[in-house]
Structure 1
Amino acid sequence: MKYKRQVYIEENGVHRIETVLESDYLRGWQIEVFSEDERPAVSGGIADREFGHWTKTLKTGEQFISPKAELTSCIGELDDVSNRITSRQKEALHTAPASEHVLSILFNEFCTTWGTPSAERIETLAARLEGKGIAYFVIDAGWYADPEKGGK
């Protein structure tokens, strides 16, 4: 199963209008919701340099294909628009690998070693967690930890 980012907008007026935007792109998004002619509007895409530190330099002849995004809207409730946008994913659920049929338990040991894992500590943790149904054991040395906030 593939996880997707979604943005829901609800407009209450004469009719309740629900809108949802969804994308497979799992990196930074930049979404703006604003009023246009007294109606809600949304714009967005890949986060830009200012807000998402994202840039792409193309050489002559190269091209960039933006990630796919989908938008749907309906008069109804949140469940109606949710069913509408997710119903197209049903085929993908049947073709997903077996490992994606369940939401596996992941254990990240960072808060047990605070970025300084050792073989002895990892072996002790692994032994204590054995038989607990954990599918993934993450050894996390805190590569992005901020030393000023306690990370090393």
Structure 2
Amino acid sequence: MRRLLVPLALVLSLGGCGWLGRSGETSKPDNFQLHGYASVAGAAAGLPGTPCLAPASAPDIVAGAPVKAADAGGKVIAVTTLASGVLATASDGYRCNFAFELLNLSGSRPAYQIVVAERPPVSFETRAVREGRPAVVDVPASAVTGSPSPS
């Protein structure tokens, strides 16, 4: 009975990591999950860890906004969306952080470009994010410009 359990456990563990379903390949897949968040400066003060919204200076940073991972040439590799904002403190005041997770990225690329909403891409070295460092896309606070008052 014991002889049967060891091979069965091995087969089940390989199936769970995706290795079993990849016929014809000679090496284990190198895919990883990239974890990160868009961190918006200028959030209203409050209790860290509670829900928040990005300030008016970043109206495009909301739950459900698109997040794309692209290669160095700009080709989109994976897409996900931002989660709801969570309030955090930082040296520059309060921030509203919107988490994201990109799945099945290849570790063979040297870097990934992360695009949140339609903002400029931010580059992250694959090695760092593959080792568990979060990809933090900093969204600075900026003054909200209103329409000029009539003269």
Structure number with greater CO (CA < 8 Å, separation at least 6) is 2
Larger relative strand fraction: 2
Q: TM-score, normalised by structure 2?
A: 0.20
Greater C-alpha Rg:
1
Q: TM-score, normalised by structure 1?
A: 0.20
